[in-house]
Amino acid sequence: MDSAVHASNLTKEYRLYPGSVARLKELMSFGKRKYHRAFRALDDVSFEVPRGSALGVIGENGAGKSTLLKILAGTTLATSGSFVTDGKVASLLELGTGFHTEFTGRANIYLAGQVQGFTRREIDDKLESIIDFAELGEYIDQPVRTYSSGMVMRLGFSVATAIDPDVLIIDEILAVGDLYFQKKCVDRIFDFRRRGKSILFCSHSLYDVRQVCDEVIWIRDGHVEARGLPAEVTVNYGNFERSQTSDPGIIRGERELIEAVDKPRIDAVRLVLDAHGANQPLPDLVKPGSDLAFEIDFEVFKPGAGVNVGAAVFRTDNVMAASFNSLLQGMEKVSDVGRHRCRMTIPDLRLGEGEYTVVGYLFDETGLHVYDHRQQDRNLLVVAEENQPGLVLHHHAFTVEPLRDDVPAPEVDGP
């Protein structure tokens, strides 16, 4: 079997009742009357995880991610569909799942190990390594109810990974705890991958997903919205999340449009690749460092209008990433009647990964009031070869040199 996990048409449907009385009425009618509303938390989801690879699962809260992982972990039954897992499966789902809060951490290690099918002797052999990895100190002999969420995560991750599973399922468990232990967990996850284990990794941290996973599925409203390489799917999902809070009015820069007869008007805007002054079509994916050009065709209807040209780049949540203004650039305003074309070059694009809208503007002589604005029809989708988070990728350089012990620290002016 080439796949560690193979899921086919998984569907999970819940019955939602307005109250306990409605549930009782339906029960007493022996199914003749329905008082519930059906809700599909998961709808016809299919995928496979090749052996030795990691699959990321992303999506909004309530999209069905946790339901999917619970089905694969065996803690929830699917309404329809099927799945097959090849080898031993360990899961880290909700914090504290499978732990008895009144038992000590040590006792819970034995409990969890026996649930996984280990004998007491086998657990004895693994006990010290589990305790050492969890780093709970004397708390290992205290009741789990006294643990913080980070301590529960330490114990749960240590136990789950100590059984050396063939498939490891992780659902947001790394969102709690200190950064030091999170790094230990990530190191162990990568060690699992090097040894040919398979991982299902669910997280809201798109950066973590891209670092850990070979492939990603985006779950939306219970179905698979997209599946593919981490760079592509996470960018699309991030853009979708940001677009949920966008305000189209922001593209005017919080300035009202001038209401006037025969005011200057934008006829067209174009964003293209700049190939030594010649235009080339904008590709679907643009890499940082590309040379771009933005053209604005506009018309002036009355002499002396005093038109300045500008542009702005917005991320899809309407965060302005950059702006350009011919007035600040020292370019003469346009006053002649007729049609004009302004070409603005953007060499060596420094935008980080994401989806951006590019907007052209016509300003009055002061640069304060907007005659007209128009958005480029196609958004700019920037995808880097290397995973480097951030909105802007500044040019930078690192230097490192050894310092002798007798070299004093440099003085810094100011308080």
3-243 and 260-382 have identical folds:
no
Which of 36-45, 71-80, 289-298 holds the top average pLDDT? 289-298
Choice among 164-178, 366-380, 393-407 with the minimum mean pLDDT: 164-178
Please state, in angstroms and as integers, the Cα–Cα distance from residue 268 to each residue in 271, 302, 306, 340, following that order. Answer: 10, 19, 19, 11
Per-residue pLDDT, 175: 61
Mean pLDDT for the stretch of residues 141-148 = 90
Per-residue pLDDT, 173: 67
Tell me: pLDDT of 414 over 70.
no
At the topology level, CATH places domain 260-382 in: Coagulation Factor XIII; Chain A, domain 1 (2.70.50)
Note the CATH architecture for domain 3-243.
3-Layer(aba) Sandwich (3.40)
Q: Are 311 and 326 in contact (CB under 8 A)?
A: no
Mean pLDDT for the stretch of residues 360-381 = 84
- What distance in Å separates the CA atoms of residue 241 and residue 355, rounded to the nearest whole number? 11
Query: What value does the mean pLDDT of the chain take?
Result: 84
Per-residue pLDDT, 97: 64
Tell me: pLDDT of 367 over 80.
no
Domain boundaries, the chain: 3-243, 260-382
Mean pLDDT for the stretch of residues 88-94 = 78
Per-residue pLDDT, 256: 57
pLDDT, tens only, 232-247 = 888 788 777 766 655 5
Mean pLDDT for the stretch of residues 252-256 = 52
Tell me: pLDDT of 251 over 70.
no
* pTM, full prediction: 0.64
pLDDT, tens only, 158-173 = 888 887 788 888 887 6
Pick the closest to residue 294 from 265, 275, 270, 313 (CA basis): 270
Sign of CA dihedral 181, 186, 189, 191: negative
Tell me: pLDDT of 260 over 70.
no
